[in-house]
């Protein structure tokens, strides 16, 4: 196109700064306005034209010159209201807002379609990893029925350091905060909220059915112990926070986020530190893994700018741009509750070193239709207690939870329960 496409940016934090710096390399794009919280805040951006800045985001949303708005502030409000206003004013949207998409995606995509505008969101799930567009285009001929993903760099960094150093969760979290890998309040990451937002949207587009965020089982990494890391390694596994999804032929979806023992033979076991990876399984492609930087200024900016350029390439050529990228999922998946699932399990049990204690654990499991793959007793302490590690075969979640109650009623303590990759 001969004329420059006008872009507005809302948010000039880490990602917004990367987007601004990257877009300067494109002669056919002009940044018209940038909304920030504090105009006078010092910014490490060479040549920043401060006349572009405003502390009123609606000046971006309503500016008649602007064709595309990049929303990079996160959260539900004011992001939702600003995006809706921008759409009403004729703008296409690019966003990295995983929480907004997970909680209000249906409303937002419906609103955009009513106004014949597109919302692109490549950066909202796995930072710089090309994921959404490949699924919507190159992989469109596949029926993908399984997702396993590491999509949170903070938790992956913490678990990797715990594994490498044999350190406690608390010690590694403190180090991660000092290095800037974890927020002062890390709850969104370490309790699995961030990963849950991402798998909600990823599973929706992959399974082609809407996934409700409130039905996703979520469990964080705060209870993982250094002892669990060592035991997992001894058994041939690594512990990772996995966002997963499965869907059967009847449209029943099992979508969840929780720590998992991943076999060292699997690709995800070797995704370390802040790297992200997504493994998709389906037909006819089989199993593929996409991996790369899941966060950061320029990796995330790469995805945002890619979405902007995808819109730019279509403007003026059709009245209905990027039809393959639009959301057309009207049906909701039937979500399976975690209590209805079947899994393999790792248990770490603190028990009195009495004669027959292992036999009692085995009997309780057998009475609940749980077969044991292995059971190992280690570390008899001075107080005559022992650590017992159990790996089960596939068993129902409800049976496992009942067995835990019976084991603890018998005087032992289940220190850890972690599901095992199947």
- Give the catalytic positions in this structure: 198
**Residues 68, 70, 76, 78, CA torsion sign:** negative
Cite the beta strand spans of 179-285 per DSSP E. Answer: 217-218, 237-247, 252-263, 275-283
Token pair for 392: 């089960």
Peptide linkage before 284 cis (omega within 30 of 0): yes
Q: How far apart are CA 105 and CA 200, in angstroms?
A: 10
Residue 132: CB partners within 8 Å, gap ≥ 6? 120, 121, 122, 125, 205, 325
Cite the beta strand spans of 333-407 per DSSP E. Answer: 334-335, 342-352, 372-378, 385-392, 395-396
Site of tokens 């401060």: 50
Residue 352: CB partners within 8 Å, gap ≥ 6? 384, 385, 386, 411, 412
Peptide linkage before 285 cis (omega within 30 of 0): no
């Amino acid at each position: 196109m001969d004329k420059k496409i006008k872009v507005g940016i809302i948010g000039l934090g880490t990602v917004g700064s990367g987007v601004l710096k990257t877009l300067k390399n494109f002669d056919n794009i002009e940044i018209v306005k940038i909304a920030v919280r504090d105009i006078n805040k010092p910014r490490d951006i060479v040549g920043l034209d401060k006349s572009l800045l405003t502390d009123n985001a609606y000046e971006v949303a309503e500016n008649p010159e602007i064709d595309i708005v990049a929303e990079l502030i996160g959260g539900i409000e004011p992001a939702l209201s600003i995006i809706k206003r921008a759409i009403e004013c004729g703008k296409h949207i690019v966003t990295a807002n995983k929480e907004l998409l997970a909680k209000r995606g249906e409303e937002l995509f419906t609103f955009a379609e009513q106004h014949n505008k597109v919302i692109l969101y490549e950066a909202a799930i796995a930072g710089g990893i090309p994921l959404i567009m490949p699924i919507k285009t190159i992989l469109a001929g596949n029926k993908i029925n399984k997702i396993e993903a590491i999509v949170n760099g903070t938790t992956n960094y913490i678990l990797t350091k715990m594994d490498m150093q044999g350190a406690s969760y608390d010690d590694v979290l403190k180090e991660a905060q000092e290095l800037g890998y974890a927020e002062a309040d890390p709850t969104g990451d370490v309790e699995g909220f961030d990963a849950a937002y991402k798998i909600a949207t990823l599973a929706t587009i992959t399974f082609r059915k809407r996934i409700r965020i409130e039905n996703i089982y979520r469990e964080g990494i705060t209870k993982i112990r250094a002892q669990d890391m060592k035991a997992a390694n001894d058994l041939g596994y690594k512990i990772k926070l996995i966002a997963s999804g499965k869907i059967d032929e009847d449209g029943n979806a099992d979508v969840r986020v929780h720590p998992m023992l991943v076999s060292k033979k699997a690709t995800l076991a070797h995704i370390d530190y802040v790297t992200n990876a997504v493994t998709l399984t389906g037909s006819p492609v089989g199993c593929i893994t996409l991996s790369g930087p899941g966060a950061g200024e320029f990796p995330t900016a790469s995805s945002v700018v890619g979405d902007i350029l995808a819109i730019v390439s279509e403007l003026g050529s059709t009245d209905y741009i990027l039809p393959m990228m639009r959301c057309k999922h009207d049906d909701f998946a039937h979500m399976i509750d975690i209590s209805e699932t079947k899994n393999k399990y790792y248990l770490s049990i603190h028990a009195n070193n009495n004669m027959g204690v292992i036999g009692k654990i085995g009997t309780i499991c057998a009475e609940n239709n749980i077969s044991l793959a292995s059971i190992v007793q280690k570390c008899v302490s001075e107080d005559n207690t022992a650590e017992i590690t159990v790996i089960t075969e596939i068993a129902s979640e409800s049976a496992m939870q009942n067995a835990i109650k019976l084991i603890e009623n018998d005087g032992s303590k289940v220190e850890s329960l972690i599901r095992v990759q199947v």
